[in-house]
Chains A and B, each alone.
Chain A
Amino acid sequence: MEPVLEVQNLVKDYPGVRAVDGVSFAIVEGTCFGLLGPNGAGKTTTVEIMEGVTTATSGVALYRGAPLGVRFRAEAGIQFQKTALQDFLTVRETLVMFRRLYPRGRDVDELIRLCALEQVAARDNRKLSGGQLQRLLLAIALVNDPQVLFLDEPTTGLDPQARHNFWDLIRAIKAEGRTILLTTHYMEEAYFLCDVIAIMDRGRIIAEGPPSRLLKEHFDDVVLELPREDFPGEPAAFPLPVLLAGDRVEISTGDVEAALGALLERGVPLRHLRIRPRNLEDLFLELTGRELRT
């Protein structure tokens, strides 16, 4: 199947720094592709080259096998990481303005419903909450009823409730068969929304594939989490590898029963014990030796 979006050997140099260093990947129609990585990994630069708003130093970005052109402009919907809108305009007026820039697209009322903006449709853009503003920016990205949707860290800075609402929205759009490219530094978001992820670090892709497959490939264990104060003595004295993670300790093991036995033997209280599967955060740490959220 021909990919909808594709980049080949993308390189982007800024004075003194190579932001993107030979990135290639392809996105299949109807899937959600997640570009994952810490701040400064080169995600936004990569996406902006794919959106046609930044030019690459070398390499190409393709839409349906051709360089980005008029067709791409008409069929792409973009939500930038930071976008200021016009002052003194209401949500509805803003949507009407953007809608009129395209020959075809969705009805403004339908967009307002879809993005849950009914309550604030007559409100000045400047008086929106973080979640409302992100939903408006998403609605703007959807005005032309796009085939491909770019979302650059759409939930950064939102509270958990607003973030979950936003995810529901994205899943509804995905259910319509749209192709989505999402960048995020939230693992949970990528795991929840994406069919395929690529992990970026320092301008390069260090792993790519469906999240569950990547985790299966790299890990065959689970993590036992305990509060630091419940875990007595030196971590080095414990028979299994123990990782200090802030106010918690994490014990990774393939044999949960044996690990629990070792903890009980030492009289460790298990009231706050949590057993969780490996996640993308662990994968990033495994691949780079660094925490993702730094």
Chain B
Amino acid sequence: MNLRRLLAVWQARNLEFLRDRSTLVFNFVFPLALVVAFAVIFGGQARSVFKVGVIAPPGAALAADPHPFLGTRHVDFYAVAEAEMAEAIRGVERHQADLLVDLRKTPRYWVNADSPKGYLAEKLLLQAAPAAERQPVTGAAVRYVDWLLPGVLGMNMMFSCLFGVGYVVVRYRKSGFLRRLSATPLTALEFGAAQILSRLLLTVSVTALVYAALAALVHFRNDGSPLLLLLIAATGALAMISLGFMMAARFVSEELANGVINLASWPMMLLSGVWFSLEGAPAWLRAIAEALPLTQMLKAARAVMLDGAGIAEVAPQLGVLAGMAVLFLGIAAAGFRWRAA
């Protein structure tokens, strides 16, 4: 790895990007518009139905049969495994769930004393299970916008990372610019690192600026360190850009690259917890979600913003993201193609 060569290509790519005004403006305006729009749409309360977590073994039926309360209409019941209880209680604290109930031996339930919907759901429960033991918790509501904001910023980063580097590399290959570079001492790893670092700088700057703009425009919650968030954003972006570079390592056709990158971005958009949490989804789906870099990044970002987590608590996610970046970049460099034909 020769730093001088890497910097030469990095600098040239930055200049190219900064001078492409229309693309540059779009990169800033789009995420800003997206988050503001969602803030307006989802600014109020989160959900129209009661949401109740039920502690049950995986696969158990949540119906009137085991307990009459579970037959109540207009209540969204979801199963919570024993191991996920702590997480589910935190959901009640944040007003994301209205109740958490354990209807097995001695019925008990967790309710947020500050939550109006929790109060109403509690009334419903006590009609069906009058002897249930009350476990009150407290905590301010996490509005949907607070929960959504990291998701939307993360999703925008994901698109910028995957398409930004993927498209450029395929275009360079198709036009023959890569072939010209292949006749110089530049290596695939140096070229890849330059592209990735250029995109990383852009994506992280855009995200930080949009974050700052949103902080001024709409009130949202951040209980943790903004610097730690920046580190999470940078590590997550690194993993996702490397993924984009890996997918673009061989393709010549922009259409094909577009299709393949879409194939990777849609599952992330749906499964990584951008819009809704995957609590209650089948275990295999959650396993797939765990393997996606965006999932790891959002998990860490939300832990910092909503729970005030420190670096030690998000270290596992940071480690996974860094590992993904190294893996993707290694595969890309080994299979990299300079020529179109």
Contacts and interface: CB of A to CB of B under 8 A. Distances in A.
B153 to A, nearest CB: 28
Contacts of B338: 53
B201 interface: no
A101 B182 contact: no
A78 B183 contact: yes
B4 interface: yes
A73 interface: yes
Contacts of A52: 183
B9 interface: yes
Contact of A80 (B12, B13, B172, B179): B179
24 contacts: A53-B183, A73-B183, A74-B185, A78-B183, A80-B176, A83-B180, A84-B172, A84-B175, A84-B176, A84-B177, A84-B180, A85-B180, A88-B16, A89-B12, A94-B12, A96-B8, A97-B8, A97-B9, A97-B11, A97-B12, A100-B4, A102-B184, A102-B185, A140-B180
Contacts of B172: 84
B184 A101 contact: yes
A76 interface: yes
A51 B177 contact: no
Contacts of B175: 84
A73 B185 contact: yes
What DSSP secondary structure best describes chain B's contact surface?
helix
Interface in A48-96: 51-53, 70, 73-74, 76, 78, 80, 82-89, 93-94, 96
A102 B15 CA distance: 20
A219 interface: no
A51 B338 CA distance: 14
Task: Identify the 4 closest CB pairs spanning chains A and B, nearest first.
Answer: A84-B175, A100-B8, A88-B19, A97-B12
B16 A87 contact: yes
B179 to A, nearest CB: 6
Contacts of A191: none
A89 B339 CA distance: 22
Contact of A85 (B9, B177, B185, B186): B177
Interface string A98-126: 10111000000000000000000000000
Contacts, number: 69
A87 B20 contact: yes
A85 B16 CA distance: 11
A83 B15 contact: no
Nearest to A52: B183
B5 interface: yes
Contacts of A76: 183
B7 interface: yes
Interface residues of B, number: 26
Q: With a 10 A CB-CB cut-off, give which of A52, A80, A100 has the most chain B CB atoms.
A: A100
Sort chain A's interface into a size bin. Answer: 20 to 34
A107 B4 CA distance: 16
Contacts of B20: 87-88
A268 B180 CA distance: 55
Most chain B CB neighbours (cut-off 10 Å) among A82, A94, A97: A97
A113 B108 CA distance: 86
Interface in B290-341: 338-339
A85 B9 CA distance: 12
A53 B340 CA distance: 11
Interface in B174-211: 175-177, 179-186
Given A101-B8, A101-B186, 10 more contacts: A52-B183, A73-B184, A85-B180, A86-B12, A86-B177, A87-B16, A88-B20, A97-B11, A98-B8, A101-B5
A77 B220 CA distance: 57
Contacts of B12: 86, 89, 93-94, 97
Contacts of B177: 83-86
A91 to B, nearest CB: 13
B8 A88 contact: no
A88 B186 contact: no
A86 B10 CA distance: 12
Contacts of B181: 101
Contacts of B186: 101
Contacts of B7: 100
A165 to B, nearest CB: 23
A85 B175 CA distance: 8
A88 B19 CA distance: 6
Contacts of A51: 183
Nearest to B182: A53
A97 B12 CA distance: 7
A83 B179 contact: yes
Interface string B11-27: 11101100110000000
A74 to B, nearest CB: 7
Contacts of B185: 70, 73-74, 101-102
A96 B9 CA distance: 10
A74 B338 CA distance: 18
A217 B176 CA distance: 41
